[in-house]
């Protein structure tokens, strides 16, 4: 997982993880994202954000100031800009309610409404890796907390799944 662009930021930097609807190359997003994050400011505060594209599907954006001095307006503005950049690149961001899983054929984004059917047909089980897009800090990402078995998530608790279904 290349985090080079994020290396200069501290572990407690605030993190946003946004799944793209399909794989893409970071170069496709770089000019617009770099420019937008360089311009990111709100009420006189210039934010020092960095970004990286993880596994060709997950956009990671981190910023240290917002961990200690959160601004909902600044965050909303940044997220609207990211949505626009994705749309202009012919991409879409996954709904935050969707579940992002790693299957044998790659990363898939599943609406929550499909979970029961996918569990029943065996597409998903307790060992299926789930990408946790709710990580809060860059340190969480650096410590390898992006993926966890489905059984260790709210889905596993709700459906009483074991870690291994062998």
For 107, the token pair is 């990363």
Q: Per-residue pLDDT tens for 114-143?
A: 999 999 999 999 999 999 999 999 999 999
Q: How many residues does the chain have?
A: 166
Question: Is residue 94 domain-resident?
Answer: no
Q: Are residues 66 and 104 in the same domain?
A: no
Q: Are residues 81 and 108 in the same domain?
A: no
The dihedrals phi and psi of 101, each to the nearest 5 degrees, come to: -125, 155
Q: Per-residue pLDDT tens for 88-118?
A: 999 999 998 999 999 999 999 999 999 999 9
- Of 83, 88, 156, the C-alpha closest to 124 is 156
For 78, the token pair is 């940044």
Question: Is residue 164 domain-resident?
Answer: no
Q: Which domain holds residue 79?
A: 4-88
Q: Are residues 75 and 110 in the same domain?
A: no
pTM, two decimals, is 0.91
pLDDT at 165: 46
Number of separate domains in the chain: 2
pLDDT at 92: 95
Band of pLDDT at residue 3, cut at 50, 70 and 90: low
Let me know: does 17 contact 135? Beta carbons within 8 Å: yes
Q: Return the bridge partners of 16, or none.
A: 61
């Amino acid at each position: 997982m290349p985090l080079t662009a994020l290396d200069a930021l501290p572990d407690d930097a605030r993190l946003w993880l946004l799944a793209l609807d399909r794989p893409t190359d970071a170069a496709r997003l770089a000019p617009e994202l770099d420019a937008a994050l360089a311009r990111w400011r709100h009420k006189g505060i210039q934010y020092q954000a960095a970004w990286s594209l993880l596994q060709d599907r997950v956009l990671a954006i981190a910023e240290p100031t917002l961990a200690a001095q959160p601004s909902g307006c600044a965050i909303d503005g940044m997220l609207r800009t990211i949505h626009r950049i994705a749309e202009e690149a012919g991409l879409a961001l996954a709904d935050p309610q969707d579940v992002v899983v790693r299957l044998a054929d790659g990363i898939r984004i599943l609406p929550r409404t499909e979970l029961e059917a996918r569990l029943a047909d065996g597409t998903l089980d307790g060992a299926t890796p789930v990408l946790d897009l709710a990580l809060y800090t860059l340190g969480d990402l650096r410590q390898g907390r992006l993926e966890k078995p489905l059984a260790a998530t709210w889905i596993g608790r709700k459906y009483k799944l074991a870690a291994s279904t062998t």
